[in-house]
Amino acid sequence: MARSRRAGREQSSGDVILFLDDDVLLDEGYIEAIMAVYESDGEGHVGGCTGVLQGIRYRRLQMPLLRFFGMDAPKREGQILKNFIGVLVRNIDQPTEVQWLAGCNMSYRREALASVEIPNDLEGYSAGEDRAISYQVGRRWRLMATPDARLVHRKIATSRLARGDWGFQEVYYNYLHFRRNMPQDLSHRAAFAWLCAGYVVINLLRRDWRRAAGNLRGIGRILSGAGGKRDAQSNCRPDETAYSNENRPGH
């Protein structure tokens, strides 16, 4: 997926680049609403924009578990949590600044997307790359979500990873993004460890044995220190001063 994003950036020619999953249904006027955000930004401070997903439903007791393990926080829509999980935007009534864009529908000003490095060491689906890309853009530019651009994400099973591989990626690839983008103090590390425990528990409760086994494989990879030099390098984050709010356009 990350490679596809990079290829799309290199081969596109417009001022705004829009990424959409193949299983989303856009409401009428979606693209016009996204473009309106950029067009109303006369000074060019907005680097990315997303719409709002409709019809998100959770199974019984799913939301309490997600909150308990730090996978969701309804009062922090559009924000990145300590464990580098992004909270979806669900209930806004006006354009709102956010910290990340969901990969199923994210757009960028070409200049903004060109200013960041898209991960090139992730294979296949590369879970979490949307957060990694948009969070980096958001450190330099403003990211917006608009309620006027609505869509439905109907996930198609055949377009996803095998259950075990997905379980591995949601732990290990998220770990790589976490290492590259978040402080590595005890508080943040504890939040990520609790997240990993949550993946295993929730998938076991779902009786999704293969995905839970993939989670455990990802945890084992982290604990073994696999990746060596690459993982050590991933802990080198961009200069915080360069990405501070004071140095972003419009702040």
Strand partners, 97: 144
10-residue mean pLDDT series, the chain (251 residues)? 74 89 92 96 93 80 89 92 94 94 94 84 75 94 96 71 90 94 96 98 95 97 70 36 39 40
| Confidence at residue 192, expressed as pLDDT on a 0 to 100 scale | 98
Domains for the chain: give ranges and CATH numbers: 2-157 (3.90.550.10), 162-234 (no CATH)
Q: Which residues contact 1 (CB under 8 A, 6 or more apart)?
A: 103, 122, 124, 125, 126, 129
Backbone phi and psi for residue 106, each to the nearest 5 degrees, phi listed first = -135, 140
Provide the H-helix boundaries in the chain: 2-11, 30-39, 62-68, 110-114, 129-138, 163-181, 186-205, 209-224, 229-234
pLDDT given for residue 23 in this prediction = 87
Cα 213 to Cα 137: distance, rounded to the nearest angstrom: 34
Q: Output the pLDDT for position 137.
A: 95
| DSSP single-letter state for residue 84 | S
Rounded to whole angstroms, how far apart are CA atoms 55 and 47?
Answer: 27
Report the predicted TM-score, pTM, of the whole model to 2 decimal places.
0.84
3-state secondary structure of 246: helix
Contacts of 233 (CB under 8 A, 6+ apart): none
Euclidean distance between CA atoms 89 and 78, whole angstroms: 5
CB atoms within 10 A of CB 201: 15
The residues facing 17 across adjacent strands are 108
pLDDT the model gives residue 218: 97
pLDDT for the residue numbered 48 = 97
